[in-house]
Amino acid sequence: MTVSDPVVEEVVATISRSATEIRQGLIGRRGTVDGENPSGETQAEADVWADELLGDRLASIDGVGQYASEERPDVVDCGDDPATSDAYAVAVDPLDGSSNLKSNNAMGTIFGVYDAALPARGETLVAAGYVLYGPITTLVIATDETVAEYELSGGERRLVERDVTVPEEPVVYGFGGRVPDWPDDFRAYAREIERELKLRYGGALIGDVNQVLTYGGTFGYPALESRPAGKLRLQFEGNPIGYVVEQAGGRSSDGERSLLAVEPDELHDRSPLHVGNDELIDRLEAALA
């Protein structure tokens, strides 16, 4: 399957070609650097390296006017302003779950292509997706036409499934944050879900969301007592993941509304994140109302 928009296709192709290189480049880059990202988190050496690699390549694409990364404080202007032209803005989490490097567990790359200047609502996305560095390196890409999954090898991508949808019968769940830090209303909802579904939680957003797309169910990183705005970044994680799941027939929510309807104030705004089967997200919003 080829994405119909040539600029979006070049973004996807660039990320696909870079994925094998990123995965191989993780070797020898498992340590941390003497610095923090804009969210105050310690950066892995691999975070910085993957951001520089993707930033250089994506910013050079004709039709990409802005590049933004979870690892950089500001938007990088790299062409025409998306607010006044046909150029797109690309937002990337270069290495989601990089804390898993030490234990050699799954991680990924998340990206969103916005038809608007950043920060932007998720409703302005024209494509979004992620690479999962699991036992097999895979790419999931969502457009307004479909959600497709590919296997990546040697810089090439092979179509595995053309029309990915969230299975109707939910099987798995995963919830982030420390349980004592969960608000009471979310804790009550979580206790219900625990009695119905199987726990699958790996500490990397991409791996946990991919479980939901594969088996059906729900993943959530809720608002916490100590962090009411949640942990995950709207532009780099919430919007792209929400877009993928919604295009696959599921729902996304910040606890009240679709993640794609949330109005951002700042590039690095955080948001609670919940995705999954419609019925489970409906129950979540009812529990938190």
Q: Is 153 annotated as a binding residue?
A: no
Q: Is 93 annotated as a binding residue?
A: yes
Please compute Rg for the chain using Cα positions.
18
Q: Is 70 annotated as a binding residue?
A: yes
What are the start-end ranges of the H helices in the chain?
Answer: 6-25, 45-59, 184-194, 205-215, 239-247, 278-288
Q: What gap in Å lies between CA 101 and CA 79, rounded to an integer?
A: 34
Of 132, 122, 51, which is closest to residue 97 (Cα–Cα)? 132
Q: Is 98 annotated as a binding residue?
A: yes
Q: Which residues, 6+ apart, have CB-to-CB distance to 237 below 8 Å? A: 70, 93, 96, 110, 205, 273
Q: What gap in Å lies between CA 277 and CA 169, rounded to an integer?
A: 8
Q: Is 237 annotated as a binding residue?
A: yes
Q: Is 99 annotated as a binding residue?
A: yes
Q: Is 56 annotated as a binding residue?
A: no
Q: Is 199 annotated as a binding residue?
A: no
Place of tokens 């088996």: 215
Instruction: Indicate the burial class of 13 (C-beta count within 10 angstroms; 0-12, 13-18, 19 or more).
Output: middle
Instruction: Report the binding-site residues for Mg(2+).
Output: 70, 93, 95-96, 237
Binding-site sequence positions for substrate: 96-99, 201, 231
Residues making up the annotated binding site are 70, 93, 95-99, 201, 231, 237
